[in-house]
Amino acid sequence: SYVLTQPPSVSVAPGKTARITCGGNNIGSKSVHWYQQKPGQAPVLVIYYDSDRPSGIPERFSGSNSGNTATLTISRVEAGDEADYYCQVWDSTSDHVVFGGGTKLTVL
């Protein structure tokens, strides 16, 4: 089955740019979606279709996808961005949803 690989943790100073990667075999051929999850809360969709933002999501959140890596980029990081982030794709070969293992973003 299709596997998505995320780094367990990423740290960034406030005001800087955080990049969270999601690796998968030829992931560039798939549409990647990203969720933010804060402790005790349900996940929130922050990016869909590689780089589109749902309404209400700040422009500081952006996404890209090419080759074997998709990336969620958070610009001008704020303390409130500290959360777990999950990538997700639809594996069309087996018709199911796949989540990455999640990345904990720490704002220093």
Binding residues vs another protein (CB under 8 A): 1, 31, 33, 35, 37, 42-45, 48-49, 54, 86, 88, 90, 94-102
Nearer of residues 5 and 68 to another protein, judged by Cβ: 5
Min. distance of Cβ 15 from another protein in angstroms? 29
Min. distance of Cβ 13 from another protein in angstroms? 26
8 Å CB contact between 67 and 28? yes
8 Å CB contact between 4 and 23? yes
Nearer of residues 1 and 26 to another protein, judged by Cβ: 1
8 Å CB contact between 17 and 73? yes
Query: Distance between CA 61 and CA 37 in Å, rounded?
Result: 14
